Amino acid sequence: MNPIITASELLSESAGPRPPVLLDIRWQLSLAKAAGAPPFDGRAEYRAGHIPGAVYIDLDNELAGAPGAGGRHPLPDVAAFGAVMRRAGVSVATPVVVYDGGQGWAAARAWWLLRWTGHGDVRVLDGGLAAWGGPLSTQTPDPEPGDFVPVPGALRLLDADAAAALARSGVLLDARAAERYRGDVEPIDRVGGHIPGAVSAPTTENVTPGTTTFLPAQELATRFKRLGAADGMEVGVYCGSGVSGAHGVLALEIAGIPAALYAGSWSEWSADESRPVATGPDPQ
């Protein structure tokens, strides 16, 4: 199954006999807290207008656990995640489409969590809400509860030790901006740099320049093979805290390349002073 869906396809399916459950995951990585400004409020944007029938999901509180030993966005409690999905109307046999404001990171996080916990029919709206040409609604839906019970393990998950090993034995891709990979700047975490052996693969290069829509599958496959993800090579992705890394896993899925996610990512790795840190443009 293609893990992304176009706006025109979504419009058609929503009017069909088996409409998908829609989840609105608007979220932004923001440094506003450090600057003293109010954080981004995805719920307020949702109330101002969303795709009709979409249920808002809070990434920080419903798609992640409390920040701590597992990084800034550790995986949520599985039972709590299942309860959130059921309240949103998610059932095992019902297709799900997730979208965000356009960047794709938050939607990819929701896509990955649902896929990881066993839902087999989840797609991301390519280009997010910005690509939607249909009507918007300000009404909050009250869906019938779903029956989805999450069972983790359908996608591969890495911990810090497995990520370190994969950087030596396969291909570990760093989805953050190149300047953070190099360690030139680090606006959030304790120290800049990257996991030794990891290859820089910014999410901005997964999409068509000037847009937030994914590159065609063949172009993505060419890009990732150029980064070392050759046929049969084991591949993993990490980022700052497991959000944009899911966008990398999604792009690899579009390209036909299975990949694991290191969910703790740099926020977990860099918090442990015993872990080695590489800087500069070279993997080592």
Chain centroid to CA 48: 24
Q: Residue 154 corresponds to which tokens in the numbers above?
A: 């359908």
Question: In sequence order, which residues have a C-beta less than 8 Å from that of residue 245 and are 6 or more positions away?
Answer: 175, 237, 238, 239, 261, 262, 263, 265
Out of 239, 243, 249, 252, pick the active-site residue. 239
Q: Residue 249 corresponds to which tokens in the numbers above?
A: 């896993």
Nearest to 260 by CA among 123, 162, 122: 162
Domains and CATH numbers, the chain: 4-131 (3.40.250.10), 157-271 (3.40.250.10)
How far is 189 from 255, CA to CA, in rounded Å? 31
Q: What is the pLDDT along the chain (284 residues), one digit of tens a residue?
A: 899 999 999 999 999 999 999 999 999 876 544 445 566 789 999 999 999 999 999 999 999 999 998 999 999 999 999 999 999 999 999 999 999 998 999 999 999 999 999 999 999 999 999 999 889 999 999 999 999 999 999 999 999 999 999 999 999 999 999 999 999 999 999 999 999 999 999 999 999 999 999 999 999 999 999 999 988 899 999 999 999 999 999 999 999 999 999 999 999 999 999 999 999 999 98
Asked about 239 being catalytic, the answer comes back as yes
Nearest to 21 by CA among 129, 86, 128, 95: 95
DSSP state at residue 205: G
Question: In sequence order, which residues have a C-beta less than 8 Å from that of residue 116 and are 6 or more positions away?
Answer: 152, 153, 154, 155, 157, 261
Which helix (H) or strand (E) segment is 230 a member of?
A: none
Count of Cβ atoms closer than 10 Å to residue 153 Cβ: 10
For 28, what's the count of Cα atoms within 13 Å in the CB-facing half-sphere?
A: 14
